[in-house]
Amino acid sequence: MINDIKKVLFSQEQISELIENLGSEINRDYIGKKLLLVSVLKGSIVFMADLMRSITLPCEIDFMAVSSYGSGTSSSGAVKILKDLDNDLDGYDVLIVEDILDSGKTLNYILGILKSRNPNSIRICTLFDKPSRRQVNLHADYKGADVPDEFIVGYGLDFNEKYRNLPFVAVLKEHIYA
């Protein structure tokens, strides 16, 4: 796997610092609220695990699994729900936890579904934001860092289900996914 890496963008230590900062912001903003963290599987599971440990307020977690990428490198635009939430959202302040906000198509679709379930509020937390690729009017309420328009892997981010287990985030060599 290491031979497939062009360059490391964020070390394990840098990622930890980003998450601690995000946790501090969330702790400040959600005092006295009924916080539900919603992880969008599979990519955000690593981020979700570390983020929830940086949150010192009471919170619950739930998971959604959607598919829109297949084995390609860009969103197909068609979204399929593979696993829906277990919780009823009524009365919750929902924080969607995403690994990367790219085109925004998938997350925009998820937002539409979740808003119809009457939560108190819905916000987005993403570890990485790639605004240069945005195709819908969507922004993250909490973001760790912007990333360049390159194909990145590691720390939950994958290409064809590989590289998720890398402890850092790196740019994948182009010949691997071209």
Please determine, for residue 118, whether its predicted confidence score (pLDDT) is greater than 70: yes
Q: Which of 86, 102, 146, 149 is catalytic?
A: 102
pLDDT on residue 68: 72
Whether the CB-CB separation of 100 and 15 falls below 8 Å is answered with no
Instruction: Give pLDDT, residue 96.
Output: 98
CB-CB neighbours of 106 under 10 Å: 22
144: helix, strand or coil: strand
Q: Answer yes or no: are the C-beta atoms of 31 and 57 closer than 8 Å.
A: yes
pLDDT 10s digits, 22-37: 999 999 999 999 999 9
In the DSSP assignment, the letter for residue 173 is P
Mean pLDDT value of segment 105-120: 93
149 included as an active-site residue: no
Task: Write the CA distances from 135 to 18, 103, 107, 132, integer angstroms.
Answer: 25, 5, 11, 9
For 30, 109, 111, 146, the CA distances from 58, given in Å and listed in that order, are 9, 28, 23, 29
| pLDDT for residue 53 | 97
Mean pLDDT of all residues in 106-133: 95
**Whether residue 72 has pLDDT greater than 60:** no
All structural domains of the chain: 13-147 (3.40.50.2020)
What share of the chain has pLDDT > 70, as a percent? Answer: 95
- 106, containing H or E segment: helix 105-115
CA distance 109 to 102: 13
Q: pLDDT tens digits, residue range 130-171?
A: 999 899 999 999 999 999 999 999 999 999 999 999 999 999
